[in-house]
Chain A
Amino acid sequence: MANPKEGFEDHLQALEKIVEELEQGDLTLDAALARFEEGVKRLKTCRELLTKAEEKVKILVRDAEGELKEEPFESEEA
């Protein structure tokens, strides 16, 4: 069910919506269990996105043709 293009915020918002629905308690047992399952999936995805540690730092440069491009940036470490 999770769209790969969805970012952390999308998953978080979906999760919060699910929790609110469940807390209101208006669902049938079937629907509630289905939502709970999806909630668990979203929670897991959020955690994975948080623990992923991809540091991407780039710098904007003009190439030979005068076009702007983003290239990896090496900063001077202290």
Chain B
Amino acid sequence: MGSPGPSPSRVYRVFELQAAVRDLLEGEFGRVWVEGELSGVKRAQSGHVYFALKDEKARLDVVLWRSSAVRLRFEPEDGLTVRVRGRLTVYAPQGRYQMEADALEPVGAGPLQVAFEQLRRRLEADGLFDPARKRRLPAFPRRVALVTSPSGAAVRDLIHVASRRWPALELVVVPVRVQGPGAAEEIAAGIRAADARGFDVLVVGRGGGSLEDLWAFNEEAVARAIFAARTPVVSAVGHEVDVTISDLVADVRAATPSAAAELVAPDRVQMMGGLRGTGRRLARAARALLGEGRRRLDAAASARAFRRPLERVHEAGLAVDDVALRLATAARERLRARGEAFERIAARLDALSPLKVLARGFSVTTKGGRVLTRAADARAGDELRTILADGEVRSRVT
């Protein structure tokens, strides 16, 4: 029979050994930072987050306590490379060692940037950025709401530029906090309130600041409120270089609050110029039509159809003249012919005229107005008239 091995100097109980190991670990490492890839992330009902941190060769189990987990600005997702700070310890009931973490941050980008990316991906998948859904701004809005801080440069610039361009535009400030805890909810509530009050455009925004300052405009509550608004929304957050989630959801993005005023308010100076042009077109068109009318009138007046009646009257007149002339000539001819004939007859008559006979010495004797042709008709005492060539003689019959 072989001899037993050397007797161990000490035999631990299991819990003793685990406790000793724990003490060793905690003493040796204290709190450490370790970097790796998140894997198997699980949020327990308790609020604690359990996961494994991995690299190509090894794995470490980690638990992030609820108190730290709620302060996370981003979502710990599988595959994310992170740095974790915690204490190594032994979980005796399971005989494992693990890390109890109190800090978790992404590697390569700040937690806010990671959060931004995560939300952007999620909302994009939900269709909040769909270009087809974006509405055009009205060309001549009458009422515009400004959901922004009531103090500060942004609201002043918005009002100043908008009023200068279109003084008749009604501007209503919907005052909200634009940073700090609860700001996102206030902004969302402001958007909802304005949407219900009959505006033509909502402008949502604030002046410039750090990513932390602008963070409210990257939160889901604001994005959802903008998406749900029936009024077209202009997002005007920070400076040109800051792109926020609300910029992506809104119907129109303005690089700055002043740019927003230019997008929303028409420029009345430009409009005046446009009106002058329209006025000129109006006058030109009317003149053209009147000129056209006059031309048509002249053309009609000078058309053959109009002149011909006059011509015909003319021609008829000529014809009449002609006929009249011929008539006159013919009449004169006939008159002359008649005249000659007349004269001939007159001459013959003349020759036969009793006056000519008288001149030859014959006389005409009348008694009581009747010509005496028989001597027997003359009785004694009758008064007789005898007409001679150059006069008459009265006599009494003896």
Contact = CB atoms under 8 A, between A and B. Distances in A.
Contacts of A77: 156
A19 B289 contact: no
B268 A39 contact: no
A25 B281 CA distance: 13
A23 B322 CA distance: 54
A57 B156 contact: no
| Interface size bracket, A side | 35 or more
Interface string A43-78: 100110110111111111100000010100101111
Nearest to B176: A60
Given A29-B289, A43-B282, A75 B172 contact: no
Given A52-B168, A60-B173, A43 B275 contact: yes
Contact of B272 (A16, A50, A60, A70): A50
B176 to A, nearest CB: 10
A60 B194 CA distance: 9
A56 B156 contact: no
Nearest to B281: A19
B173 A53 contact: no
A47 B275 contact: yes
A73 B156 contact: no
Interface in B168-216: 168-175, 193-194, 197
A46 B140 CA distance: 12
B167 A59 contact: no
A73 B289 contact: no
A27 interface: yes
B159 A58 contact: no
Given A7-B142, A25-B289, A52-B168, A19 B156 contact: no
B359 interface: no
B282 A39 contact: yes
B170 A19 contact: no
A44 B364 CA distance: 112
A9 B168 CA distance: 13
Contacts of A25: 285, 288-289, 292
A57 B261 CA distance: 14
Contacts of B170: 56, 58
A9 B278 contact: no
B150 interface: yes
B139 interface: yes
Given A46-B275, A59-B174, 9 more contacts: A8-B140, A15-B278, A22-B289, A29-B289, A53-B168, A57-B171, A60-B193, A68-B197, A76-B151
